[in-house]
Amino acid sequence: MQYDPKKTMDEFDSLMQDIAKTIPEQYKAFIGEKQIITKSGKVDEKTKWLLLLISSVTQKCPVCIPRAVKHCLESGWSKEEMLEACMIAVLVGGSSVMTYVTLVNKTISDLS
């Protein structure tokens, strides 16, 4: 399977820059909302990124997965913890979601 997490993130970032230039106010609102939601509150930031990873897998988002994996690694989650948590996504989303767990595993290897 062809999947390059670094290339995916770079291409997405490039595409988002065009959106930021075209609709700067809305883009800034989106980024601001993301920053507020992911910072520590009643749930710590580390856990929020793991939740985002599980959500990315459940939603089958090949763009969201590498970003969430990157933040999870930076937050100190181990490969085993991330993959175990991703099995919750499989439980919720069914066996087709397992394809995206393989993307998580590849991304962990590529970014570690």
Kindly report, residue by residue over 48-80, the tens digit of the pLDDT: 999 999 999 999 999 999 999 999 999 999 999
- Say if residues 108 and 69 touch (Cβ distance below 8 Å): yes
Size of the chain in residues: 112
pTM exceeding the 0.85 threshold for the entire prediction:
yes
Stretches where the chain sits below pLDDT 70 are none
Domain count of the fold of the chain? 1
In this structure, what CATH number is given to the domain that contains residue 47? Answer: 1.20.1290.10
Predicted pLDDT at 1: 72
The per-residue pLDDT for 2 is 83
Question: CB atoms < 10 A from the CB of 85, how many?
Answer: 19
Q: Which domain holds residue 60?
A: 5-111
* Residue spans of alpha helices (H) in the chain: 5-22, 24-38, 45-58, 64-75, 79-93, 98-111
